[in-house]
């Protein structure tokens, strides 16, 4: 399955119509062979069928859809060219702006890198392969050096 659906429990947050529209969009994403098979028109049609217009609350949930897919892409600690293209497409069809995406990328990248550092420091030793893994991951996530160093220092203190 290309896109994993989340548990439905959003009715209180979004209301019945928005929840139904979101479930329909998630079903489109989960059921497609290629993410690029789902168009902005498909998403708009799902919203229209449910009588939903895109508002701030709905965009927040779309951002969470984007976050889940981004996290799923990073399970192997790498982003392939295809995954990068899928993320760009998902941004467009969900109507997210650059600020939405930058916020998600920053939060997810920090979390993924912090977890990786925590795993590397479990034995209180960093061998050359682990140091190389962290360097490559930092580059893959496009984390600024000062952020990566701060996350490393935080995990190092925690490991002591």
Per-residue pLDDT of 142-153, as tens digits, reads 999 999 999 999
Grade residue 18 by pLDDT with cuts at 50, 70 and 90. confident
- Classify residue 5 as left (phi > 0), alpha (psi -120 to 50) or beta: beta
In whole angstroms, what is the distance from residue 146 CA to residue 34 CA?
Answer: 37
The continuous run of DSSP H or E covering 17 comes out as helix 16-31
**Residue matched to tokens 């995990």:** 155
Grade residue 159 by pLDDT with cuts at 50, 70 and 90. confident
Per-residue pLDDT of 37-63, as tens digits, reads 999 999 989 888 888 777 677 788 889
Distances in whole angstroms, Cα of residue 22 to Cα of each of 8, 14, 33, 98, 105? 9, 9, 19, 21, 22
In whole angstroms, what is the distance from residue 55 CA to residue 53 CA?
Answer: 6
Tokens standing for residue 72: 């799923």
Helix (H, G, I), strand (E, B) or coil at 111: helix
In whole angstroms, what is the distance from residue 30 CA to residue 93 CA?
Answer: 14
Number of residues in the chain: 160
Per-residue pLDDT of 76-87, as tens digits, reads 999 999 999 999
**Count of H-run helices and E-run strands, the chain:** 8, 0
The pTM for the full model equals 0.82
């Amino acid at each position: 399955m290309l896109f994993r659906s989340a548990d439905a429990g959003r009715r209180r947050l979004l209301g019945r119509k928005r929840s139904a529209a979101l479930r329909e969009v998630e079903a489109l994403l989960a059921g497609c062979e290629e993410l690029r098979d789902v168009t902005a028109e498909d998403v708009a049609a799902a919203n229209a069928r449910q009588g939903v217009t895109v508002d701030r609350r709905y965009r927040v949930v779309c951002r969470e859809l984007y976050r889940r897919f981004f996290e799923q892409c990073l399970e192997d600690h790498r982003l392939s060219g295809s995954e990068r293209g899928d993320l760009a497409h998902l941004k467009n069809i969900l109507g997210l702006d650059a600020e939405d995406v930058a916020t998600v990328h920053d939060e997810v990248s920090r979390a993924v890198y912090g977890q990786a550092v925590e795993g590397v420091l479990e034995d209180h030793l960093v061998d050359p392969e682990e140091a190389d893994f962290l360097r490559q991951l930092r580059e893959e996530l496009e984390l600024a050096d000062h952020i990566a160093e701060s996350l490393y220092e935080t995990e190092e203190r925690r490991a002591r």
